[in-house]
Amino acid sequence: MLAYIIRRVFQGAFVLLIVGFIAFCMFRFMGDPLESILGQEATALDRIELRERLGLNDPIVLQYGRFVGNAVQGEFGISYRNGVPVAELISQRLPATLELALVSAVLALVFGIVLGVYTAIKREGWLANSIMSLSLIGVSLPTFLIGILLIWIFAVELGWLPSFGRGDTGSLFGIQTSLATVSGIKSIILPAITLGLYQMTLIMRLVRAEMLEVLRADYIRFARARGLSERAINFSHALKNTLLPVITIIGLQLGQIIAFAIITETVFQWPGVGLLFINAVQFVDIPVMTTYLLLVGAMFVVLNLLVDLLYAVIDPRLRVAKR
Amino acid sequence: MLHRPTITIATAVAMALAGMSSANANTLRWASSGDSLTLDPHAQNEGPTHTLAHQMYEPLLQRDMAGEIIPALATSWAVTDDPTVWRFTLRQGVKFHNGADFNADDVVFSINRTRAPNSAMKELLTSVVDVKKVDDYTVDLITEGPNPLLPANLTNQFMMDEDWTKANGAEQPQDFDNGGDNFAVRNVNGTGAFKLTSRVIDEKTVLTANEDYWGKDEFPNEITEIVYTPIQSAGTRVAALLSGEVDFIQDVPVQDLARVDGTDSLKVNSAPQNRTIFFGLNVGDEDLTNDNVDGKNPFADLRVRQAMNMAINRAAIQRVVMRDQSQPTGIIMPPFVAGWTEALDALPEGNMDGAKALMAEAGYEEGFTVTLNCPNDRYVNDEAICQAAVGMFAQIGINVNLDAKPKAQHFPLIANKETDFYMLGWGVPTFDSEYIFNFLVHTSSDDRGSWNGTRYSNPEVDSMIVSLGSEVDLEKRAGTVAAIWETIQSEVIYLPIHHQVLNWGMANNIEFPVQPEDQPHFKFLTYAQ
């Protein structure tokens, strides 16, 4: 098992190196950071000087090598846009994104599973059918549209919830989070729904399909024959066996949630790493972009590893196969 | 609060509200699309950065809400008998936010800091060779040659406290490549009407009124606290204004103007901006790389340029694309700029038959194909303007391929001379024609003409432009300016489109005129009684 983990960690590091390199190769198509750094009064001479000082004339491989060399020492450079160390910017912003992703994931999971089970059991009910139809919205509407729609209804028309920002943050178990204050919790509701809606409908449809499959299985029939209550059958026998694929999806979707947070964060001005990244792209802030992409890459690698390990825990059959 | 889950929360909220209304009677919640990039006043030369800096730091002299120069930290200034020396008399009794006195040493230090190699503001002071303290409240700025317009270059050069800056190791503006952090990027010690209370980048910046501000009685100073939040998404920004979560937003999108203005509690103030939008043409090269004409440059032919100028239906762009939020123009100079006249601003005569005849005369009866480079995230409706223009040029046989890109990719094309036909917008911070000539008309060289993507090079015009820099006879200078404009207008190297219009949205009880540089100076803001 240990050897397996170590091997996966090395694979992960290799993946990150490749991600970073591809990112660096793409930056040349994103524009010129000098245009953003220098004002409109800059002369041709200023441009040449700054380009030289920032090492932008060097070959990509050399620039990348320099970045990796510094990154290994925990030095990610200074943001061109904000003039503060990238590591500081990201560590300031990460809690906001993680908290948003977490709340979205919990919402998606709870509502997804509950509604999925409900629609599977009450297949023909009018409520189940309308939930299924409504879920099409979650799958088909783009995130920014849902966000704007929610702002329109709940912030402008009803005035119940704030349209932007994170509200006040408070301390909860030593972590600065908006979940610790009333204004923070009010602020997170709309972005969390926007971000989690797609995942929620996905989980719901998945659970429903799996559940329908399982309910047809022989052992459920036997359970019925044994006279077990519907409740016991549905929840302790059927649901348990539908959860395996759900865990895979959730593991991978959590990465998606963080990645999709870019759009939600822009719409709601949620001060997380996604918003930071969008600004970095517009400004061609190379140090921030690279670090962000590496961070997201690392997150996916770790999530995948965790999902694989969780499998072994949940499904004993896999544990045997590994040995 | 429509739903009050428990009595305690309701009480807490009521108490909080009561506390707010008494202590923060005039809190201004302000939103705009982009955050200030840095608090270091010399590290970025950029609009939103200057806007925030102006609330806390002050220059020697500044522009007021109408764009006129008024005294700030200097009370008077004049050229001495030696025309290369400008003498500034400083305001006495001014204190920095930390209590330190403001005096000539701070001015010498700050001017030198803006001239440092890492400074983003140094290009505005290239004519300055030295700065000298005469006594505690008098400073001389020595220029290379006579520079009659030096004051106009000082309106965004902020004064820092020498001792504070040095004690915190921030003598130099930030340097990106050193990996060095800079204290002045996160901290402020200015003389301005507001002090920095807290700041989280891209999230929230809170400023509090400076009780010891020297201009307490000189300006309205009605605001006690400013809460500044950047909101990038235009829809969300407008929603925040509509829902009453913010009181003041810059840049209301043109499609939302009616909605904001139609809301009872809100209003929109509009005024022309100090920025003109136009197309540039590569008139200098032998052949164009982005067209289908071999061995010839159609833009080098004056008749083609004239025809294109006539083909642009500026009124239609104003009406359809800009929803009337623009001022069509015939010159690439905003109306605030010295040298502007109504005659110059007159629209070129729109005449399709005449334009077609000129094309035929130039030998392009069959037309030609060319690529137009256009930004899509820089100016108001930039891409839509280009799309409209494509249709207009097609009417005289010019088949335009539109290539719209984000600004980070568009502007390098102009700087590196990789485009033959492009859109550009130009604002004039010095409010003088020379600024336009230096950057857009002078032959592109190491120190001038950096934004002249037209390859236009006229030695006669160049020498006239250079002479402006040191001409002390203002009447003669105005004559040269007029002569240069006459040449540019007759050569048609640029195709002007319009002056942009600024729209500020605000709560009904706020009295605040629009500043032509999009620089709200909140010490001027008043509330209706």
pLDDT of residue B509: 93
**Is the Cβ pair A39, B123 closer than 8 Å?**
yes
Contact between residue B267 and residue B528 where contact means Cβ atoms under 8 Å apart: no
Give residue B12's pLDDT band: very low, low, confident or very high (50, 70, 90).
very low
Measured from the Cβ of residue A136, the count of other Cβ atoms closer than 10 Å reads 11
Q: Is the pLDDT of residue B1 over 70?
A: no
**Which among A80, A83, A275 is the nearest to B40, CB-wise?**
A83
**CB contact A269 to B (< 8 Å):** yes
Give residue B16's pLDDT band: very low, low, confident or very high (50, 70, 90).
very low
pLDDT in tens, B158-179: 999 999 999 998 888 877 666 5
Query: Which residues touch A283 (CB under 8 Å, ≥6 apart)?
Result: A33, A36, A80, A81, B408
Domains B9-265+508-527 and B273-501 share a fold: no
Alpha-carbon distance of B117 to B120, in angstroms, equals: 8
Give residue B11's pLDDT band: very low, low, confident or very high (50, 70, 90).
very low
Greatest mean pLDDT among A230-244, A246-260, B6-20, B416-430 lies in: B416-430
Q: Which residue has better confidence, A230 or B143?
A: B143
CA atoms B350, B354, B355, B358: torsion sign: negative
Q: Is the pLDDT of residue A57 over 70?
A: yes
pLDDT in tens, B236-281: 999 999 999 999 999 898 889 999 999 999 999 999 899 999 999 9
Give residue B24's pLDDT band: very low, low, confident or very high (50, 70, 90).
very low
pLDDT of residue A61: 86
pLDDT of residue B180: 61
Among the residue ranges A23-37, B72-86, B319-333, B398-412, the one predicted with the least confidence is A23-37
Q: Return the percentage of chain A with pLDDT > 70, whole number.
A: 96
Alpha-carbon distance of A242 to A112, in angstroms, equals: 13
Contacts 24+ apart (CB under 8 A), A50-56: A53/B176, A53/B177, A54/B176, A54/B177, A55/B177
Among the residue ranges A126-135, A176-185, B419-428, the one predicted with the least confidence is A176-185
**Is the Cβ pair B243, A80 closer than 8 Å?**
no
**Is the Cβ pair A44, B407 closer than 8 Å?**
no
Min Cα distance B34 → chain A (Å) is 9
Q: Which positions in chain B touch A42 (Cβ < 8 Å)?
A: 123, 450
What's the CA dihedral at B516, B517, B523, B528 to 10 degrees? 30
pLDDT of residue B60: 96
Write down the residue that tokens 């480079």 correspond to. Answer: B373
Q: Is B84 helix (H, G, I), strand (E, B) or coil?
A: coil
Tell me the average pLDDT across B39-52: 90
Count of residues making up chain A = 323
Q: Is the pLDDT of residue A81 over 70?
A: yes
| Chain B: residue whose CA lies nearest to A37 | B44
**Is the Cβ pair B239, A163 closer than 8 Å?**
yes
| DSSP code of residue B124 | G
pLDDT of residue B6: 42
Q: Is the pLDDT of residue A24 over 60?
A: yes
**Mean of the per-residue pLDDT values of chain B:** 89
**Mean of the per-residue pLDDT values of chain A:** 83
| Chain B: residue whose CA lies nearest to A31 | B409
Q: Which residue has better confidence, A85 or B520?
A: B520
Alpha-carbon distance of B221 to A305, in angstroms, equals: 59
Closest CA to A104 of A223, A196, A214, A201: A196
Q: Where are the domains of chain B?
A: 9-265+508-527, 273-501
Q: Is the pLDDT of residue A99 over 70?
A: yes
**Which among A38, A78, A282 is the nearest to B179, CB-wise?**
A78
Give residue B17's pLDDT band: very low, low, confident or very high (50, 70, 90).
very low
Considering only residues 56 to 95 of chain A, which have any Cβ-Cβ distance to chain B shorter than 8 Å?
A: 70, 75, 77-78, 80-85, 89, 92
**What does residue A267 show for φ and ψ, rounded to 5 degrees?**
-65, -40
Closest CA to B40 of A278, A50, A46, A84: A84
| Chain B: residue whose CA lies nearest to A166 | B203
pLDDT in tens, B322-370: 988 999 999 999 998 999 999 999 988 878 899 999 999 999 988 899 9
Task: Pick the residue of B203, B430, B438 with the most A CBs within 10 A to test the interface with A by mutation.
Answer: B203
What does R_g of chain A's alpha carbons equal in angstroms?
24
Write down the residue that tokens 């709309």 correspond to. Answer: A190
Q: Where are the alpha helices (DSSP H) in B34-115?
A: 47-56, 104-114
Query: Which residues touch A86 (CB under 8 Å, ≥6 apart)?
Result: A76, A77, A78, A79, A287, A288, A291
In DSSP terms, which residues pair with B89 in a beta bridge? B76, B138
Measured from the Cβ of residue A278, the count of other Cβ atoms closer than 10 Å reads 16
Contact between residue B243 and residue A163 where contact means Cβ atoms under 8 Å apart: yes
pLDDT of residue B21: 40
Give residue A238's pLDDT band: very low, low, confident or very high (50, 70, 90).
confident
Q: Which positions in chain B touch A271 (Cβ < 8 Å)?
A: 200, 202-203
The CATH classification number of B273-501 equals 3.10.105.10
Give residue B42's pLDDT band: very low, low, confident or very high (50, 70, 90).
very high
pLDDT of residue B124: 86
In DSSP terms, which residues pair with B432 in a beta bridge? B338
E-assigned strand segments in chain A: 170-172, 175-177
**CB contact A30 to B (< 8 Å):** yes
pLDDT in tens, A247-305: 777 777 777 888 778 889 999 999 989 999 988 888 888 889 988 988 888 888 888 88
Measured from the Cβ of residue B457, the count of other Cβ atoms closer than 10 Å reads 16
pLDDT of residue B8: 46
To the question of domain B9-265+508-527 being in CATH 3.40.50.920, the answer is no
Alpha-carbon distance of B34 to B230, in angstroms, equals: 5
**Which among B9, B45, B242 is the nearest to A156, CB-wise?**
B242
Q: Are strands B85-90 and B74-79 parallel, antiparallel or unpaired?
A: antiparallel
**CB contact A41 to B (< 8 Å):** yes
Give residue B408's pLDDT band: very low, low, confident or very high (50, 70, 90).
confident
pLDDT of residue B4: 39
**Is the Cβ pair B408, A36 closer than 8 Å?**
yes
**Is the Cβ pair A40, B203 closer than 8 Å?**
no
**Is the Cβ pair B439, A40 closer than 8 Å?**
yes
Number of alpha helices (DSSP H) and beta strands (DSSP E) in chain A:
14, 2
Min Cα distance B291 → chain A (Å) is 23
**Is the Cβ pair B202, A276 closer than 8 Å?**
yes
Give residue B462's pLDDT band: very low, low, confident or very high (50, 70, 90).
very high
- Structural domains in chain A, sorted by start: 88-287 (1.10.3720.10)
Query: Which residues touch B218 (CB under 8 Å, ≥6 apart)?
Result: none
Q: Is the pLDDT of residue B498 over 80?
A: yes
Measured from the Cβ of residue B51, the count of other Cβ atoms closer than 10 Å reads 22
